[in-house]
Every structure is written in structure tokens, then in C-alpha cells.
Amino acid sequence: MIQQELACDLSLKWGRMRQAMREEGADGCLLSVDVNLYYVTGRVYSGYFYLPVEGEPWFFVKRPGGYAGERVVYIRKPEQMAEILADSGVQRPGKLLLEAGELTYNDYIRLHAVFDPPHTGDATALMRTVRRIKTPWEIAQFRISARRHAETYACIPACYRPGMTDLEFQYEIERLMRKNGSIGIFRAFGANMDIFMGSVLAGSNAEVASPFDFALGGEGVSPSFPLGASGVSLETGTAVMVDMAGNFTAYITDMTRVFSIGKLTGEAYRAHQVSLAIQREVQQVARPGVACADVYHLAAGIAGKEGLSSCFMGTRQQAGFVGHGIGIQINELPVFFPRSKEVLEPGMVFALEPKFVIPGVGAVGIENSFLVTETGIEKLTYAEEEIIDIT
């Protein structure tokens, strides 16, 4: 079942999981959510992955057919797992971790009944913590996505035609991304995080608040999905912020660039330069051991000194963060917000996105993906960072 080239990577991940399980006093961890299954097996399937704190993992598959390998077992219903493990001499866990943060109530109760453990814990929290630190194989996947992401962004000006709306512009960018190898799906953790491939915000639409927990909002095209492009015309003097996901592998890079329809106001260009200055300052100070909250305060402090606090990370509704971890999901740990208790560690990959919304013009600013190294941070996403006039 496991591809040979992933074997070492998966073994490393299982080892990290076991260490985290020992720290929680857990004897077993059961996973069934797609992103976690991919993380621990290198594929998505319908079924379950069971890792005892001591011993080898088990792969319980419902579909598709055709998988083979050690401890790969086909089942029709989850109740079979406990019987199979018991028949194989695997001890019932005294403390079992279940994906409490992601399973439905019914699924959680059913899986709990299958194993009937004396104690349970939250596998969702454990997996999000373990996934913060990327393995060498994962970092290589990020580099592939980053390269293709940048190559695609370099072609965005050619997508523009006079008279376009923001939606028409986004359609062309989406086509370009899929043509260049984008998987298309935009995976995110949590409720109110639905989005299709990314966001294009033009002009005053960047000021519209959204219930969705992204850095900026947008009205969207329907009350059923109030986020992003809304059909506004790309008129002269409009800033167009393109924030499309770089999911050219399972590991998503995050990158934002700003384009203009003709010339913008001086305030828009000034705010954009402040965003670039924030990025430079963070690059100077960020390294292992630096608190994520300090990174946020550094960014917010620069915005305040420049008199731009009122439009930093929005206007009518301001995001309470300036960056976030990325991975299989777009919003992994750590998060850079004022009350964060996390510090940077080697192997983390995160997106830094200091942005400003200029009333009547649109959103400006920058977003790039960074890898935390032993001595600092390395930028992964390279593309022109100044505002590009596409007319």
C-alpha cells in the first residue's frame, strides 16, 4: 500500500506521532479524516488508520479496492476493527485518541463504542501539533508548489482584457493554474472556511466584511458564499489583489500579489511599501525561538507608526492575525496573532501576509511562504512584489 519512496517519510511521521502520544499518555490513535489519512499513509481512502503507541500501524480500508500490504485489512463497518486487532494480539487501548475536532457527533460516538476505551483524547489537536514541523520530504513538496506557483503568477498579466470583471479575471487565472498543474482543491481547517482555489479582490469589494475567517473578505456572488470576487468591473484606478492557492502538490504554498488597472493613488503605493517593509523586518528578526505574537506586534507596530492602523488587515472588519502555518491545509499551526503562545521552530512553514485596504482603491500588500531554518527563515515563493500595472 505504501509507495517505497514515501516509506522513510511515513516512518518519521509515525515516530513523531508516537512521541506525542506518549506525552499525552495515549495508547492508540485512530484517524479517518482525509488530511490526516494523507499525512500518515501518503494517500486518501475511505477507512481508518490505527497507530498503537507500541507496534506497527494498521490500515483499515472500505474503498477503493486493490490495496495490499502488511496490516492492510478490508472492512465493511468500523466494528470489525476491534475484533481484528484483538484476534491479532493487539491490546485494547487504555486511552484512545479520536478526531474530536473534526468527526461528527454520530461518528465519534460510534468509534468510541467500537473500542470502548477507559479514556479518550483529541487526535485532531495532536495531529495539528505534529503537522506543524515539516519533514524533509514535505519541504521538497513545498518547493515544487512554490516554483509552479511563481511560474503561474508571472503569467497573470496576460489573463487581463479591458472591460473585464473581477470574476472574469479570476476565471482566466483559475484556468491558467489548472493548466499548470494545480490540483484545484483548497483544503482548510474549521467551519466557515469554504473557498474555491483562492480569492481575487478588486476595488471597493476588498472593504466588504465576510463571515469567513480569512485575512480579507469580499461580497462574493451569492449570500450562500459571501466571500471573494463579486462581479465588479475592473476600472481605471482599481487595485486587484490576487491570492490564489499554490496547491500544485498536496502541500499548499500561499502567495498574494497586487495588480493595478492604470495608476493608483499615492496612499495605495505608500501602504504597499509599508507592507514590503514589514516583510523585510520580519525576515530580519524571525528565527527559531521567536514568539509568533512578537511577529504580529512587530507588523502591527510598523503599520501604526505609518498611520495605517485603521486599514491594516481590513477596514470595516480587521483580521486579528498577520500570518499562519501552511501545509496540507491552508491554515495550519502556528498562527501569528497577539495572544499566541507559540514560538518558531525549525521545519515550520508559514505564510506572512501584511495587507492594507485603501478605501475607494482596493487591497494592497504582500504575502509569501517561508520555511523556518536553523538560523532564520527562507522565502519559498518568488515573484515580482511591486504593484504591477496590467493595462
DSSP state of 303: H
Q: Give me the residue label for grid cell 469580499.
A: 218
Rounded to an integer, the average pLDDT of 14-29 is 98
pTM: 0.96
User: So what's the pLDDT on residue 5?
Assistant: 73
Interval 324-370: pLDDT, tens: 999 999 999 999 999 999 999 999 999 999 999 999 999 999 999 99
Rounded to an integer, the average pLDDT of 208-237 is 94
**318 and 193 in a common domain:** yes
Beta-carbon contacts of 346 under 8 Å, excluding residues fewer than 6 positions away, are 133, 288, 372, 373, 374
Q: Which of 70, 97, 130 is a domain's end point?
A: 130
Q: Which domain holds residue 46?
A: 4-130
Q: Which of 68, 98, 130 is a domain's end point?
A: 130
C-alpha pair distances (Å), 174 with each of 159, 167, 246: 10, 10, 11
Interval 72-96: pLDDT, tens: 999 999 999 999 999 999 999 999 9
**34 and 59 in a common domain:** yes
Strands in 368-372's sheet, in edge-to-edge order, are 332-336, 323-325, 349-352, 368-372, 377-379
Q: Which of 130, 162, 196 is a domain's end point?
A: 130
User: How many structural domains does the chain have?
Assistant: 2
Question: Of 366, 363, 343, whose CA–CA distance to 254 is shortest?
Answer: 366
Helices then strands, each counted (H, E), the chain: 9, 17
Domain harbouring 149, CATH code: 3.90.230.10
**100 and 225 in a common domain:** no
